[in-house]
Structure 1
Amino acid sequence: MSDAAADARPEPTAGTVDLLGAIAYGALTAFERLAQDGAGAPTLADKVTLATMAGRQVDHLERVRDRLAELGADVMSAMAPFHRAFDDFHAHTRPKDWLEGLMWVYVGSGFADDFYAEVAQQVDDTTRALVEDVLSDAGHEDFVVEHVRAGIDADPRVAGRLALWGRRLVGEALSQAQRVAMEREGLTSLLMGDGGVDVVAVNRSFSRLIEHHAARMRRLGLQP
């Protein structure tokens, strides 16, 4: 890169790099989860769908990597602070079967995406547009809802277990999101906004996360 191009490159904030690093590592772990779930999918069509969904995660990772490069940041370094939180979440929320795996994709990843969307309100316009585009391209909601509802129709007894699984997923996801936000000063500053510490605003953000989770559970038929 020429000196002139380097001078023109925007100076990234720590929060922007943290946000993109978290999204990149989240895409990588989502790819791994979808690949694992695909191996246990009951039909060939389901395997193909999950493979397609996994491919989207690779595309998301590459797009975020490219944006980090534009900002002069390295994707590997940006992802590094989030290994432990994501890996702990995976370790504590291993699905036992096909339906739990689908809910992990929809409920667990959905909560994380909502968290990123909240944080992205405070980044630059180009980064925010990228984040919003990536988060809107998950491509799995209807697939998961259809299959989970079909599973419940086939055996209504699983509904109670899946409802408990959904609560466990959001509990773990909320715990890890709070942990990450507090450990990374850049993300904390984005959540707080430009006006300094605003506990009310942060509480509203997390309240919206819970509301979105409840809406997903209702779509699955697991919450009134």
Structure 2
Amino acid sequence: MDEQSAAGLGTGPSADGPDAAYRAGALDLLGLLAYGALTAFDRLAEDSRMAPGLADKVQLAVMAGQQVEHFGRLRSRLADSGIDVMAAMRPFHEPFNGFHDHTRPKDWLEGLVKAYVGDGIAADFYREVAAFVDADTRALVHEVLADSGHVDFVVGRVRQAIESDPKVGGRLALWGRRLVGEALSQAQRVAADRDALTSLLTGTVDRPGLDLAAVSRMFSRLVENHTRRMAALGLQS
């Protein structure tokens, strides 16, 4: 077992030093994920009102329910580490709310693209950070970010809409470009505002991490993954 896996997150107040900085970064990641799950639930519930049929509404309700389950698991893990989920989420209210305020979908299809493209970029960012946390925390991150079948649903619905009306593709492609710009700005802002997260990525807490050039390559990977998602939807990135 490596040092990170053995150390885990611990409980109670953190002391000064590299272990404290690492713990703060890992707890930030869990708080970020928890608020992301909470806002995803709220957004999916709202988007379901625009669903064209009952089957689509049910699918979004299932997706929203999964976010509630994810939130519960993250809240429990934070509680095990002596951290209240409300306090852990508080630093991320402003960037998350700002992102969603600037990317409110105007219709059902824009909501689907946002759920796939916007959330996909965020999930990729969380996985990049999770590469540098202890094994238990990393496993939880990957579990709550795992696809539960909604990708096929979203891709199928969007492709079907484009086949029915090719002009829809151009509008959704522009929407996807806007989403990637806003999402990357959000990720950069979070990384810049939260020193503990940045220290995980840059390896400045005496743990293996990324140098600044590697951070730049990480953002390039986020863009590449976005391009693949857009292609899956049948859209130009």
TM-score range, shorter chain: over 0.9
Query: Given that residues 132 and 209 in structure 2 are in contact (C-alpha distance below 8 angstroms), is that contact kept between their aligned partners in structure 1?
Result: no
Q: Could you tell which deviates more after superposition, 11-20 or 110-119? A: 11-20
Name structure 1 gaps, 5 residues minimum.
1-7
Give the aligned residue type for 1:217: M
* 2:131 aligned counterpart, secondary structure: helix
Mapped to 2, the partners of 1:158 and 1:164 lie a distance apart of 10
Mapped to 2, the partners of 1:124 and 1:182 lie a distance apart of 22
Q: For residue 200 of structure 1, what is the aligned residue in structure 2?
A: 213
TM-score under structure 1 normalisation? 0.93
Q: Does 1:159 align with 2:186?
A: no
Identity %: 65
Query: Given that residues 53 and 139 in structure 1 are in contact (C-alpha distance below 8 angstroms), is that contact kept between their aligned partners in structure 2?
Result: no
> Out of 79, 92, 100, which is 2:89 matched to?
79
Q: Does 1:218 align with 2:231?
A: yes
> Out of 10, 31, 50, which is 1:21 matched to?
31
Mapped to 2, the partners of 1:144 and 1:95 lie a distance apart of 15
Q: For residue 143 of structure 1, what is the aligned residue in structure 2?
A: 153
Q: Provide, for residues 166-201 of structure 1, a one-character-per-residue CA deviation record: whole Å limited to 9, x for no partner.
A: 000010000010000010011101111235771111
Q: Does 1:209 align with 2:219?
A: no
Query: Given that residues 38 and 50 in structure 1 are in contact (C-alpha distance below 8 angstroms), is that contact kept between their aligned partners in structure 2?
Result: yes
Q: Provide, for residues 13-63 of structure 1, a one-character-per-residue CA deviation record: whole Å limited to 9, x for no partner.
A: 110111000100000110011101111111111111100000000000000
Mapped to 1, the partners of 2:9 and 2:185 lie a distance apart of 36
Give the aligned residue type for 1:101: G
Give the aligned residue type for 1:10: G
Q: Provide, for residues 77-136 of structure 1, a one-character-per-residue CA deviation record: whole Å limited to 9, x for no partner.
A: 000000000000000001011100000100011110000000001111100000011111
Q: For residue 10 of structure 1, what is the aligned residue in structure 2?
A: 10
How large is the Cα RMSD of the aligned pairs? 1.6
TM-score under structure 2 normalisation? 0.88
Give the aligned residue type for 1:43: G
Mapped to 2, the partners of 1:89 and 1:138 lie a distance apart of 24
Mapped to 1, the partners of 2:208 and 2:62 lie a distance apart of 42
Shift of 1:139: 3.3
Aligned residue pairs total: 217
Q: Could you tell which deviates more after superposition, 9-18 or 123-132? A: 9-18
Name structure 2 gaps, 5 residues minimum.
1-7, 12-19
Query: Given that residues 200 and 209 in structure 2 are in contact (C-alpha distance below 8 angstroms), is that contact kept between their aligned partners in structure 1?
Result: no
